[in-house]
Structure 1
Amino acid sequence: MGLDVRSDDNCHLWAEQSGTGPPLVLCHGGPGLWDYLAPVARLLDDDARTIRWDQRGCGRSQRRGPYSVARFVADLDAVRDHLAGPVTALLGHSWGAHLALRYAIEHPERVSHLIYVSGTGIDPERGWHPHYERNLRQRLGHHLDRWEALGARARTPAQQRERAVLQWSADFADPGTALRHAERMATPWLGINEDCNQALNAEVKQELRDPDLIVQCRALDLPVLIIDGTEDIRPRWAVDSLHEALPNSQRVSLAGCGHLPWVENPHDFRQAVTTFLTEQRHQTLRQVHREPADRADPR
């Protein structure tokens, strides 16, 4: 049974938590989708207390706006405050990676670690997008005609689901299992909030053109792990500028994986995340234990 978190403007946000350990808030992608990160939570159950949530207007959360980056950052802060405590680690996937990054920029004192999974970087011209469109069509293969036909007209909920499953199948590297993975993502089907998707995508496009964003990334002095699947149809060089801008980041590329690397390579995904969290926590403890001695040294 889900938990009910109230935002500061009294919007009901669905959330769920599981596992034991330090808190880790998970931010799903979209925009306009719902939480599909239960498999990530299960992988990390022994290492973190994971907190999942449906973003405003999506899935099991209340279907109301406004749909803006600032509003979603404030909602994430409500989830953090209600369920995680004063400081939490964040893991964001795709659009959720951008949301987690924006939150860390605005509230660095409330974030211990940031895990940026399959995001699309901070390229102001979104130069990756034409490559994504081409790769999507190529990977759809013999499903391309049906996907295009469904996109050319108003759709029933069943047709909306069918088109989403076809499109999401391109996010997996192995064509033999791609449709099955996409079907699992779409079950249960909670409907895509197209208004939310369009509003946030338009705002992010404008936000990336702001030169302050790269300046803010350069000032973000907290540990960041960037995880990519090498077979993601969104070209991974799009993330290079973010990796270079962040002062304390490391990057892991998982071979043979598409956009959801924990599905196709769960062992290495879990190892990358847990190693990062453990190493950074040990480093923090070493710094805390050194500080009193450093202050007492008269030299």
Structure 2
Amino acid sequence: METFTSYDGTELAFRTVGDGPPLLVLPGGPGRAAAYLGDLGDLAATRTLILPDTRGTGASATPADPGTFRVDRLVDDVEALRRHLGLERVDLLGHSAGGGLALLYAAEHPDRLTGLVLVTPSLTAVGAASDLGAEQVIAARAAEPWHAEAVAAYRKVKSARTFAEAAPHRMAFEPLMYGRWDDAARAHAAADPAQRSLAVSEHYYAGYTPDTERLRRQLGALPCPVLLLAGELDPWPTPAAVAAAAPLFPDVTIAVQPGGGHYPWLDDPAAFAATVEGFLRRTATTGAPAQGSR
């Protein structure tokens, strides 16, 4: 692990994995250390992944002010890391809640990005719904042996007022978040409690109200191309929710990974890496926009 000092003196940690052009990767959870990302399947074969632990998680220090865990304030940590790395412009990937953070960073620092990749992103940060058609996505898996228990847990997680209140139901709910509920998925889900800081989870959106009109103006003028990657079986965000977010951007490509859940690099590493790498190849060397599709 390496460290850097952020804007307020907090010591934050990151690790680098792989080989090739740099790709800065923001973890989600919210409040989950970046270890859950692994090497993003086969993507580390062609990219040097820069994987920071959000403040208060993993090897990063916990600041005295929990208000600095809020998603919009974390933008300054991302910028501090970019400066530390000495990268004039960077490709940025955000997963889940980290996708929301990536959106806010893009809105504030559009000139610092070569390409933006949003993998099953939370849309809360921009005031958009992530669960459009979720009931249909969930119902489509009714033949799975775990389905009834997972749906009951899903209802409890959805109605919980806090992450701590939802925590006892998360493991039963988790099969809905993976394309295949196999041994690898079970191990990945079981690692969540040890990797997650509930304090960060609880404060991530606390007191945050997106200025949706301002964000839409900023993202609508984003000069870099955007990849929106959804999992076909992901209930949050659903493919429908990801498609509905496409008009936020002037140059956007939508990809729906067949059989993919919320962690598509686990369900089909080769397909995931090919989609992301194919997009980045069109932007990383020259910064020229990719040909978007909606």
Structure 1 segment 174-189 matched on structure 2, within 5 A: 174-175=180-181, 177=182, 180-187=184-191, 189=193
Question: Equivalent of 2:148, from 138, 141, 144?
Answer: 141
| Cα distance in 2 for residues equivalent to 1:63 and 1:95 | 19
Q: Which runs of 5+ in 1 are unaligned?
A: 287-299
Rate the CA distance shift 1:189–1:173 in 2: closer, same or farther, 3 A. Answer: same
Q: Which runs of 5+ in 2 are unaligned?
A: 290-294
Structure 1 segment 31-180 matched on structure 2, within 5 A: 31-35=30-34, 36-40=36-40, 43-64=42-63, 65=66, 66-83=68-85, 85-121=87-123, 126-129=128-131, 132=134, 140-143=147-150, 163-175=169-181, 177=182, 180=184
| Cα distance in 2 for residues equivalent to 1:109 and 1:236 | 28
| Cα distance in 1 for residues equivalent to 2:156 and 2:218 | 42
Report the Cα offset of residue 25 of structure 1.
Answer: 0.6
Greater shift in the superposed pair: 81-90 or 188-197 = 188-197
Report the Cα offset of residue 7 of structure 1.
Answer: 0.8
- Specify the code of the residue in structure 2 equivalent to 1:201: Y
| Cα distance in 2 for residues equivalent to 1:61 and 1:225 | 29
**C-alpha contact (below 8 Å) 1:59/1:190 kept by paired residues:** no
Report the Cα offset of residue 132 of structure 1.
Answer: 4.5
User: Which residue is equivalent to 1:21?
Assistant: 20
| Cα distance in 2 for residues equivalent to 1:133 and 1:30 | 22
Deviation string, structure 1 residues 156-182 (Cα, Å, up to 9, x no partner): 9xx95x74433333201234x1x6414
2:284 is paired with a residue whose SS is: helix
User: Which residue is equivalent to 1:280?
Assistant: 283
| Cα distance in 2 for residues equivalent to 1:182 and 1:171 | 11
Instruction: Tell me the matched-pair count.
Output: 276
2:174 is paired with a residue whose SS is: helix
Aligned: 1:245 with 2:248: yes
- Structure label with greater radius of gyration: 1
User: Which residue is equivalent to 1:212?
Assistant: 214
| Cα distance in 2 for residues equivalent to 1:258 and 1:284 | 30
Report the Cα offset of residue 80 of structure 1.
Answer: 1.8
| Cα distance in 2 for residues equivalent to 1:37 and 1:142 | 26
Rate the CA distance shift 1:245–1:33 in 2: closer, same or farther, 3 A. Answer: same
Rate the CA distance shift 1:283–1:197 in 2: closer, same or farther, 3 A. Answer: same
Aligned: 1:261 with 2:264: yes
Q: TM-score, normalised by structure 2?
A: 0.80
Greater shift in the superposed pair: 277-286 or 121-130 = 121-130
Report the Cα offset of residue 69 of structure 1.
Answer: 2.4
2:93 is paired with a residue whose SS is: strand
| Cα distance in 1 for residues equivalent to 2:175 and 2:85 | 33
**C-alpha contact (below 8 Å) 2:232/2:256 kept by paired residues:** yes
Rate the CA distance shift 1:62–1:125 in 2: closer, same or farther, 3 A. Answer: closer
Greater shift in the superposed pair: 132-141 or 193-202 = 132-141
**C-alpha contact (below 8 Å) 2:94/2:100 kept by paired residues:** yes
Report the Cα offset of residue 190 of structure 1.
Answer: 2.8
Report the Cα offset of residue 91 of structure 1.
Answer: 0.6
Report the Cα offset of residue 104 of structure 1.
Answer: 1.3
Report the Cα offset of residue 126 of structure 1.
Answer: 4.6
1:96 is paired with a residue whose SS is: helix
RMSD: 3.3
User: Which residue is equivalent to 1:192?
Assistant: 196
Report the Cα offset of residue 226 of structure 1.
Answer: 0.9
1:69 is paired with a residue whose SS is: coil
| Cα distance in 2 for residues equivalent to 1:236 and 1:193 | 28
Q: TM-score, normalised by structure 1?
A: 0.79
- Specify the code of the residue in structure 1 equivalent to 2:230: D
